[in-house]
Amino acid sequence: MDTRRGALAVPKVRRVGFFTPTEPPPESSQRPNRSQSGPVEATTSSSPLSDSPSGNLISPVLIPPSRHHSDNLTSHAAAPVPVPGPAAFRRYLAHDRSLHIGSYNAPDSLLGTSPPSSNGEFSEDSVSLFGFQRSDSTKLSASFPNGGFDLTLAVRAPQEPETKIATASASEGKKKIAEVSGKSESVTTKPQKEKEPKSLKDKTTKAERRAIQEAQRAAKGEGKRHADESGKANPGMAAKKPQPKKERPPVTSSVSEKTAVAVEKEKRMDVPQTQMQYDDKSRVDKAKRRAVVEQTEIKNKVELFLHLPQYERGNQLPNLSSSFFTLDTIHHAVYKVGLQHLAGDISGDNARCIAMLQAFQEAIKDYTTPPMKDLTMDLTTKINGYVSFLIECRPLSMSMGNAIRFLKNQIRKLPVNLSEPEAKASLCSDIGRFIDEKIILADKVIVQHAVTKIRDGEVLLTYGFSCVVEMILLYAHEIGKKFRIVIVDARPNLEGQKLLRRLVTRGLDCTYTHINAISYIMREATRVFLGASSIFSNGTLYSKVGTACVAMVANAFSVPVIVCCEAYKFHERVLLDSICSNELGDPDAVANIPSFITKAKQSKMMDNNKNLQFLNLMYDSTPSEYISMIVSDYGMIPPTSIPVIVREYRRENLLL
Amino acid sequence: MWRRSPSFILDRTSSSPPMAADTTRTPIQNPDSISAYYQTRAAHHGVITSEWLSQAQAAVGGVVSGDEHPVSSLNELGNEKSFNVIEEFNSWRKQPDLAEAVAAIRALAAVIRASEATTMMELEIELKKASDTLKSWDKTSISLTAGCDLFIRYVTRTSALEYEDFNSAKSRLLERAEKFGEISCKARRIIAMLSQDFIFDGCTILVHGLSRVVLEILKTAAQNNKLFRVLCTEGRPDGTGVLLSSELSKLDIPVKLLLDSAVAYSMDEVDMVFVGADGVVESGGIINMMGTYQIALVAHSMNKPVYVAAESYKFARLYPLDQKDMAPALRPIEFGLKIPTKVEVERSARDYTPPQYLTLLFTDLGVLSPSVVSDELIQLYL
């Protein structure tokens, strides 16, 4: 087992993102669950909560934890709904996409399962967009043969709340599996062992890969036979484990029970996905072939960021808008939002998320289930298609990822006996509720909390543009607090100017400066308010590039740094640096300075220089020690409490 | 009740102290400028400055005092009821061994007892009112606020549906309030037992402030025949260190009294710092008697561990960002010499120590790192 894990440590493909080698285990640990539990039980039951550590942590006073901040919410519910303006955080990186991709290729990349036969379209779809991940995941799944999960189970479980469900039943499930896997292993170990040394190498030749595939296919066939023998309880399970990756749409498996499929699907969605690595040529090519949006890569790429998508922007917009009326796979509302993302008309995490959800709402309204198809299945496939289109337009943000995860959960949880119009209405109202409660009301709660930290005579420093921070400042001004604002801005987006304009027109006292002057201006500040794109469970703040700099300087001057972030943006992942997960903006934006008279000439000269690369990073990560406080809709909490919120409420967020 | 508390560490169940209701009550209006919390503490310490006495007397004047038992006096209506909550609270507070939070909960229990509400909702509203008056009466006391919040939290989460009728629910609440006194005592024992592993033979402990929990810890250590030395800061202006050192010398613990300003001077011979807490805030930091912050800073810079002993009912949903970010608790300070009127005097009684300077918190929930405090609070209040 150890040697097999060793193979993971040196994967064939350079893994930069959240490509943790421990990722397969949770999947495999869930496998037993799939065969055992009914579809609904796994997600919705509250039992996982009581099993989780939190259950035992009940307070000294024995008070059962109440639910959300609903008191606060209801008190503000009547207030008018502000439309959050575009926020400072524009683009998100590929790692979020994993969430959505997750539902696409989870079976392929992590389990090596063939998609269930009952929805051929689904599998087709997943292949079409992200089939490229397969070859890689072969290695992953291969290096974790049948029994592998119990070794890594413990490691992974605490990080991934969803897997908790599985762990409970895993122990029982393990026994069953053991029988099955015991048999299949005897057959499959050989090909796997054969393969391991290869996965250690950096490259395998095509011939070698072919050989491996053949071996695996053979092994799979064997495994299937064994599985059939060992009982119907878990058909196809044994078959899946040793299953190799195939470069073409996988053979449909024999699983036809709908319940089993539903549970499995659920699992897939819950597991954090591996991120596409854009420095893997073959996969990128495959992805391109399937893409709706034609993208051209930029010429001089920065070596360190090759794993991120680096496409030229702007040139594909005309093509896309012309095909607006011809494209029938994508709903027009979604298409519109996609184009808006692409063109940068909508920026800011909340705005993008709301726009996307509203587009989905419209798409669901216009949706009709095709004959002979199931609404749950077909709609999920549709949504997956929309999401992948949106990703092509611009990588999703973490918050959008969470929202999509929520939507898919809602679809999955629809009662079977619901009629189509009812189901659609319920989904639409769910989406509306998400927007209201998780974004708009959350912002109001945040404003209420944050305003208590503004005293008269203070100098508040903010960076870039965050709609929550703007709301806080305006509200504090409204209730008559006397304070001054320092707006720190940075090229190339200069979003702070927008904030400056809005605040000045409302009569607030502002100072505007660029980030170059941060160490000078920080002397004056008494509080720093920052927005967030996401906060990870190690407390790392992921936000507009430059935020880390501001936070660090503030820390050096012992100015408290207050981060305002809605709880739906929290993510259970851990982020350590800004490299593995980021988004690259238009490099020309860095190169071109508006005031340059000879701009065209300059950039031409620069473009032709092979030794010159432009890097326009969109985000950076701020370690938690530079953050004094996080204001979220759960109140004011220290950054060390993010995992608690994620652990305690993630499930409920899904339930909502 | 304390499901998660490591009370197993107690070898014997400690009996709750006799809770004879204090009939001689002195209902004082809270003087604006002076923190009632620190007044009571000073009264408990028996160190009463002349200035404080005169102020207290001025405050007492004009308020009618009665001989009624506080509980029976609550059978009144309207505005007087809220007034009585405070009286009740004050009467409980007079007992030196009773923690502030427990006194608050007892006062609220008296409200329940006296309540004529017939539904859970009514009772809830009544309690909420009472706790609001209590809280607004003394905004400086963190454990009062925390205790009220805690109890209200419990009431709102106790659905009357769990019980067959309203009266059983009511008696359940009362029973629970009674238990709080016990808990308060038991918590101290638990903390004392938990902390024993940290006190080793031959160590030198620096203590700041007069904390009942810290005293209990040192007592238990002495009873366990541990050999250790205690350095007490003087604790101006209350002279808490003087009191503590006399208590410790009764127990035959070698003790040395320091000037508050001599902390850095003697820090290199110190092995650990023990402090109590007025309140533990959400960030995991503590609010405690003035001087704690600077001791923690000195200890941190010299790599000495700082241990905080605090019962879990002192956990408060507060999040101060800096020293000025809390309601100031003022107290009179005697300088001995005459001070010109032009000279301003910093009269704040407490400071905030950020979590990064604390090593561990000993609570009845176990030995926690500062970041766990917020987890506990989230589970409690959200």
pLDDT digits (tens, 9 = 90+) for B43-85: 665 543 444 444 444 444 433 333 333 333 333 333 444 456 7
Using one digit for the tens of pLDDT, what is the confidence trace for A533-542? 999 989 999 9
Q: How far apart are the C-alpha atoms of A370 and A75, rounded to whole Å?
A: 43
Average pLDDT, chain A: 66
Within 36-65 of B, beta carbons closer than 8 Å to A belong to none
Tokens at B133, concatenated: 């008056």
Lowest mean pLDDT among A244-258, A277-291, A349-363, A608-622: A244-258
Q: What is the pLDDT of residue A602?
A: 59
DSSP letter, residue B325: S
* CA separation for the pair A379, A61 (Å, rounded): 46
Rounded to a whole number, what is the distance in Å from the CA of B2 to chain A's nearest CA? 5
For chain A, the residues whose C-beta falls within 8 A of a C-beta of chain B are: 54, 56-66, 68-69, 453, 455, 527, 560, 562, 628-629, 634-638, 640-641, 644-645, 648
CA distances in angstroms from B156 to B159, B176, B317, listed in the order given: 7, 14, 17
User: How far is residue B238's CA from residue A474's CA, in Å, rounded to a whole number?
Assistant: 45
In this predicted structure, the answer to whether residue B218 has a pLDDT above a threshold of 90 is yes
Q: Which of B329, B335, B303 is nearest to B42 (CA)?
A: B329
B1/A634 touch (CB, cutoff 8 Å), yes or no: no
The answer to whether residue A361 scores a pLDDT higher than 60 is yes
A64 contacts B157? CB cut-off 8 A = yes
Please report, as a single letter, which amino acid is at residue B28.
Answer: I
- pLDDT of res. A320: 63
- Give the orientation angle of helix A420-433 with respect to helix A375-393, to 10 degrees: 40
Name residues whose C-beta falls within 8 Å of residue A346's C-beta, 6 or more positions apart in sequence.
A86, A337, A340, A352, A355
Do B154 and A68 count as a contact with CB atoms less than 8 A apart? no
CB B232 within 8 A of CB B258: yes
The pLDDT value recorded for residue A412 is 85
User: Which residue from A513, A454, A430 is spatially nearest to A636, judged by alpha carbons?
Assistant: A454
Q: Is the pLDDT of residue A372 over 90?
A: no
Indicate the residue of B154, B321, B382 with minimum beta-carbon distance to A560. Answer: B321
Pairing of strands B228-233, B255-258: parallel
B276 pLDDT exceeds 80? yes
How far CA B274 is from CA of B218, B310, B335, B359, B371, in Å, comes to 10, 11, 27, 10, 19
Going across the sheet that includes A541-544, the strands are A570-571, A534-536, A541-544, A619-622
Q: What DSSP state is assigned to residue B268?
A: G
Picking from B5, B150, B382, the nearest residue to A66 by CB comes out as B382
- Nearest CA among A624, A571, A59, A43 for reference residue B382: A59
Q: Sheet containing B279-280: which strands, arranged edge to edge?
A: B279-280, B286-289, B350-353
Q: Which two tokens stand for residue A507?
A: 């009569």
pLDDT recorded at residue A72 = 41
Q: List the beta bridge partners of residue A584.
A: A617
DSSP string over A580-617 = SS--B--HHHHH--TT-TTHHHHHHHHHH-TT-----B
Name the percent of chain B lying above pLDDT 70: 74
Which range is least confidently modeled, A380-389, B66-75, B123-132? B66-75
Residue A154 identity: A
Mean pLDDT of A94-109: 32
B138 and B366 Cβ atoms separated by less than 8 Å: no
Percent over 70 (pLDDT), chain A:
49
- Of B2, B4, B150, Cβ closest to residue A56: B4
- Percent of chain A exceeding pLDDT 90 equals 21
Residue A605 — pLDDT band, cuts 50, 70, 90? low
Q: Which residues, including other chains, have CB under 8 Å from residue B105's CB and lie 6 or more apart?
A: B147, B148, B150, B151, B177, B180
Is the pLDDT confidence value at A231 over 50? no
pLDDT of B23 strictly over 80: no
What are the C-alpha distances in Å from A3 to residues A14, A187, A234, A593? 20, 19, 28, 54
- Say whether A68 and B322 touch across the interface (CB within 8 A): no
Out of A175-189, A356-370, B172-186, B202-216, least confident range = A175-189
Residue B160: pLDDT over 60: no
Average pLDDT over residues A621-641: 92
Question: Does the beta-carbon distance from A637 to B3 stay under 8 Å?
Answer: no
Predicted local distance difference test score (pLDDT) of residue A382: 86
Is B379's CB within 8 Å of A648's CB? yes
- Indicate the residue type of B122: E
**Which one is predicted more confidently, A650 or B304?**
B304
Q: Name the residue among A100, A134, A139 with its Cα closest to residue A115.
A: A134
Give tens-digit pLDDT for A608-617.
677 777 888 8
pLDDT of residue B239: 85
pLDDT band at A365 (very low <50, low <70, confident <90, very high): confident
Tell me the nearest-neighbour CA distance from B4 into chain A, angstroms: 6
Residue B119: pLDDT band with limits 50, 70, 90: confident
Biggest alpha carbon distance in chain B?
Answer: 67
Q: At what angle do helices B100-114 and B166-195 cross, to 10 degrees?
A: 170
Chain centroid to Cα A215, Å, comes to 35
Mean pLDDT of A230-242: 42
Instruction: Provide, as residue numbers in chain A, all residues whose Cβ is less than 8 Å from the Cβ of B317.
Output: 635
A383 has pLDDT over 90:
no
Residue A242 pLDDT level (bands cut at 50, 70, 90): very low
pLDDT at B3: 44
Average pLDDT over residues B351-368: 92
- Beta carbons of A637 and B374 less than 8 Å apart: yes
* B175 close to A (CB below 8 A): no
**Does residue B170 carry a pLDDT above 80?**
no
Question: Which of A434-443, B129-138, B263-272 is predicted least confidently?
Answer: B129-138
| pLDDT score of A14 more than 70 | no
B1 touches chain A (CB under 8 A): yes
Q: For residue A61, which residues of chain B lie inside 8 Å, CB to CB? A: 1, 150, 153-154, 313, 380
pLDDT tens digits, one per residue of A447-473: 999 999 999 999 999 998 999 999 999
Query: What is the reported pLDDT for B117?
Result: 75
Question: What span, in angstroms and rounded, lies between the C-alpha atoms of A434 and A409?
Answer: 12
Chains A, B: CB pairs < 8 Å: 95
Collapsing DSSP to helix, strand or coil, B351 comes out as strand
Query: Is there a contact between B270 and B205 (Cβ–Cβ < 8 Å)?
Result: yes
Q: Which of B153, B321, B364 sits opposite A63 (nearest CB)?
A: B153
- Amino acid identity of residue B212, one-letter, is R
Residue A494 confidence (pLDDT): 86
Residues in chain A closer than 8 A to B365 (CB atoms): 60
Confidence check: pLDDT of B185 > 90: no
> Using CA atoms in the order A547, A551, A556, A562, what is the torsion angle rounded to 10 degrees?
160
Q: Would you give the DSSP letter of residue A110?
A: I
Query: Which pLDDT tens digit goes with each residue over B228-268?
Result: 999 999 988 888 899 999 999 999 999 999 999 999 999 99
d(CA B106, CA A94): 57
Kindly report the average pLDDT of chain B as a whole number: 77
Name, in order, each residue with C-beta under 8 angstroms of A403's C-beta and a sequence gap of 6 or more.
Answer: A353, A356, A357, A434, A438, A568
pLDDT of residue A380: 87
**Quick check: bond before B237 cis, omega within 30?**
yes
Counting every residue written for chain A, the total comes to 656
